[in-house]
Amino acid sequence: MTETRTLSLEEIESLSLRALVAAGTTEENARPLAVATAATEADGVASHGLAYIPIYCEHVQCGKVDGQAAPILSTPKPGVVAVDAATGFAHPAIDLGFEALIPTARAQGIAALAVRNSYNCGVLGYHTYRLAQAGLVGLGFTNAPASIAPSGGSRPVVGTNPFSLAVPDADGQPVILIDQSASTIAKSEVMKHAREGKPIPVGWALDSDGNPTTDPAVGLKGSMAPSGGYKGVGVALLTEVMAAVLTGATLGVHASPFSGTAGGPPKTGQFFIAIDPGATSGSSFAGNVAGLVEAIRFQNGAHLPGDGRSAKRRQARTDGVAVSVATLDKITAILA
Amino acid sequence: MTETRTLSLEEIESLSLRALVAAGTTEENARPLAVATAATEADGVASHGLAYIPIYCEHVQCGKVDGQAAPILSTPKPGVVAVDAATGFAHPAIDLGFEALIPTARAQGIAALAVRNSYNCGVLGYHTYRLAQAGLVGLGFTNAPASIAPSGGSRPVVGTNPFSLAVPDADGQPVILIDQSASTIAKSEVMKHAREGKPIPVGWALDSDGNPTTDPAVGLKGSMAPSGGYKGVGVALLTEVMAAVLTGATLGVHASPFSGTAGGPPKTGQFFIAIDPGATSGSSFAGNVAGLVEAIRFQNGAHLPGDGRSAKRRQARTDGVAVSVATLDKITAILA
């Protein structure tokens, strides 16, 4: 049983901000990350919330991320926004990019944001959700150090590479939020089993010859199993092409780890596509979204991707979020 | 053992064209479909090649597709091309759209083509491949009548909905081609087992309560199993949003079947995104593509998505393709 304490979202944001600044991050760079951390805790994704703040602080201190970085924006073509994150945090780079991406997508009908020299962007769906809040359909990709092997091979070449889709309803409020990685299970789950000395189920990871294993340590030296076999590899490759190949970021096969302090900045990338649904669908968008949502919600037991997070978000606004005391102790130590 | 006869690609194209015209398709509409049929046979995807010509002809004759349709193009915003296929074949509508999409993507950096009131587009990767031949990264989606149930539900709401990604190399030649559906297996495989009275493996299809079944007839009345469980549903929803919701096409849940003669035009949709890699990646694209391709090809036994099709294509150009005599007999009957 993990000991917890309940904090308001404002307290989570403030604590995150102060810790990041204490570790050497500019307030300008720390703020978007602190806001995202509170939102992630509100959504119930504790693995990517406050628990990451001590890691982010350590990464500023060891130079894996530059807390003082100033991301650089350019607009190489009318529909394309590019941001060089300058080995700083992904969040301020994405924020800067979105300021240009959103009006560009409205004007052009579709626009792209390519972020390079970046870092782990936390929960990808946090970012696409914001595009849906602007009334746009948002599609996002982020790459990661290699952990999935290609079909027929056994050496990792692509990360667990998530994609995310956020769709607004007729009122411009996000109603569908897909946010899923290309592996059967998150790598962090395999690491947790390794720490706890527990076997993993068949189908989670493969040994270094590409065979199934129930030993988490063997799996971590091998590769993560792609969801649905070769089709999971296809989704991971899609994300690698978008987030790394198309942005000029570092390929997962060359990127330094997101965990630990070794290897310097990972310089991975993010790619976002924002689409104005009124431009592509004429006047049919609102009716079609409602039709798809109803076809799912009207089935007993069925749910839309994102329903779980939005229920938790509503509750967190009034009730706050229970966070781990062990994590809070680590953050207090950073502030001391 | 299927009896076959070897035809050249030119013979396959010519035969397809004459059959479609004999059934009541204009030559202008029939030609892109005939060209695609020959290319599909060359790629070794026999299930979507000549075998479909008698079905297409029947669909022209029963009114499921309008062989005389004239697709209508509009450009609602600078980055968006929309085509109303007017319940005609998808291929001429996509061809018309690509004529505008390709120069628009080069000028804007990214552009979208939304096709509505359309029909089964055959092999999706045939179309994205052509974007890669134009030096663009092509991402495509097409929706289909519902056959996959949402997570937690048992009634189909989305089709086996494929997506496709085609990526050019430094010389502007397609080097990666992903083309995969959201189900574990193609629905046509389940139908084939039903015709032959053979059981299907667990994991291919579900009964109408959402439970696994080995009876193909029960599976066809239930739903297709999504690849990788809820993550396959996510990929099917991504495609449904792009190909139907964003185009103003008919949702899979409302679309008439692609097979058989009942129900009138399915009016499904296609959505393509074309990206100029030079605009988004600066000068890093060619090196990154080569790096990703090499990391996969240099592994013993590993292969890139699309490698199989391109090997067959090279051979088909010189050797022709063995096609089913039973199919040829059906086409001869149409021409008689």
What is the pLDDT, as a whole number, of residue A1? 66
Let me know the angle formed at the C-alpha of A236 by B81 and B253, rounded to the nearest 5 degrees. Answer: 55
- Hey, CA dihedral for B176, B182, B185, B191, is it positive or negative? negative
Q: Could A245 and B271 be called an inter-chain contact, meaning their C-beta atoms sit closer than 8 Å? A: no
Mean per-residue pLDDT, B109-130: 97
Mean per-residue pLDDT, A236-262: 96
Q: Which of A58, A171, A175 is nearest to A128 (CA)?
A: A175
What is the pLDDT, as a whole number, of residue B2? 81
What is the pLDDT, as a whole number, of residue B170? 87
**Residue A44 three-state SS:** coil
Mean per-residue pLDDT, B223-238: 97
What is the pLDDT, as a whole number, of residue A188? 86
Mean per-residue pLDDT, A243-256: 98
What is the pLDDT, as a whole number, of residue B200? 97
A268-272, A308-312, B9-13: least confident range: A308-312
User: What distance lies between CA B18 and its chain's CA centroid?
Assistant: 22
Catalytic hit among B8, B189, B281, B324: B189
The band of A172, judged by pLDDT with boundaries at 50, 70 and 90, is: confident
Q: Could A78 and B165 be called an inter-chain contact, meaning their C-beta atoms sit closer than 8 Å? A: no
Catalytic hit among B28, B47, B74, B259: B47
Mean per-residue pLDDT, B159-169: 97
Cα separation, A273 vs A14, in Å, equals: 31
What is the pLDDT, as a whole number, of residue B95? 98
**Percentage of residues in chain A having pLDDT higher than 70:** 100
Range list of H helices, A89-247: 90-108, 124-133, 187-196, 216-221, 230-240
Q: Which of B84, B251, B242, B230 is nearest to B150 (CA)?
A: B230
Mean per-residue pLDDT, B82-108: 98
A298, closest residue in chain B (CA to CA): B153
Q: Mind listing the domains of chain B with CATH numbers?
A: 1-62+310-336 (1.10.1530.10), 71-183+226-305 (3.30.1370.60)
Cα separation, B39 vs A1, in Å, equals: 60
The band of B1, judged by pLDDT with boundaries at 50, 70 and 90, is: low
Structural contact between residues B159 and B148, judged by C-beta atoms closer than 8 angstroms: yes
What is the pLDDT, as a whole number, of residue B47? 87
The band of B158, judged by pLDDT with boundaries at 50, 70 and 90, is: very high
Q: Could A82 and B282 be called an inter-chain contact, meaning their C-beta atoms sit closer than 8 Å? A: yes
Cα separation, A99 vs A110, in Å, equals: 15
Looking up tokens 């009345």 gives B221
Mean per-residue pLDDT, B105-110: 98
DSSP percent split of chain A into helix, strand, coil, nearest 5: 45, 20, 35
Scanning B47-66 for CB atoms below 8 A from A yields none
Other C-beta atoms lying within 10 Å of the C-beta of residue B135: 20
Q: Which of B194, B213, B48 is nearest to B125 (CA)?
A: B48
The model's pLDDT over A187-214, given as tens digits with 9 standing for 90+, comes to 889 999 999 999 999 999 999 999 999 9
Cα separation, B200 vs B213, in Å, equals: 8
The model's pLDDT over A25-78, given as tens digits with 9 standing for 90+, comes to 999 999 999 999 999 999 999 889 999 999 999 999 999 999 999 999 999 999
**Percentage of residues in chain A having pLDDT higher than 90:** 93
Is B289's Cβ below 8 Å from some Cβ in A? yes
Question: What is the pTM for the complete model shown?
Answer: 0.97
Which one of A112, A248, A277 has the shortest CB-CB distance to B110? A112
- Cβ neighbours of A170 in B, within 8 Å: none
Q: Are strands B4-7 and A321-324 parallel, antiparallel or unpaired?
A: unpaired
Q: Could B153 and A82 be called an inter-chain contact, meaning their C-beta atoms sit closer than 8 Å? A: no
Structure tokens given for B172: 């502007």
Mean per-residue pLDDT, A257-269: 94
Scanning B224-253 for CB atoms below 8 A from A yields 227-235, 237-238, 240-241, 244-248, 251, 253
> What ipTM describes this predicted complex?
0.97
Which position has the higher pLDDT, B238 or A308? B238
**Residue A197 three-state SS:** coil
The band of A170, judged by pLDDT with boundaries at 50, 70 and 90, is: confident
Q: For chain B, give the secondary structure using H, E and C.
A: CCCEEEECHHHHHHHHHHHHHHCCCCHHHHHHHHHHHHHHHHCCCHHHCHHHHHHHHHHHHHCCCCCCCCCEEEEEECCEEEEECCCCCHHHHHHHHHHHHHHHHHHHCEEEEEEEEECCCCCHHHHHHHHHHCCCEEEEEECCCCCECCCCCCCCCECCCCEEEEEECCCCCEEEEEEECCECCCHHHHHHHHHHCCCCCCCCEECCCCCECCCHHHHHHCEECECCCHHHHHHHHHHHHHHHHCCCCCCCCCCCCCCCCCCCCCCEEEEEEEECHHHHHCCCHHHHHHHHHHHHHCCCCCCCCCHHHHHHHHHHHHHCEEEEHHHHHHHHHHHC
Structure tokens given for B220: 């066809």
What is the pLDDT, as a whole number, of residue B244? 98
Q: Could A107 and B232 be called an inter-chain contact, meaning their C-beta atoms sit closer than 8 Å? A: no
Mean per-residue pLDDT, A217-236: 97
* pLDDT over 80 at A91, yes or no: yes
The model's pLDDT over B3-34, given as tens digits with 9 standing for 90+, comes to 999 999 999 999 999 999 999 999 999 999 99
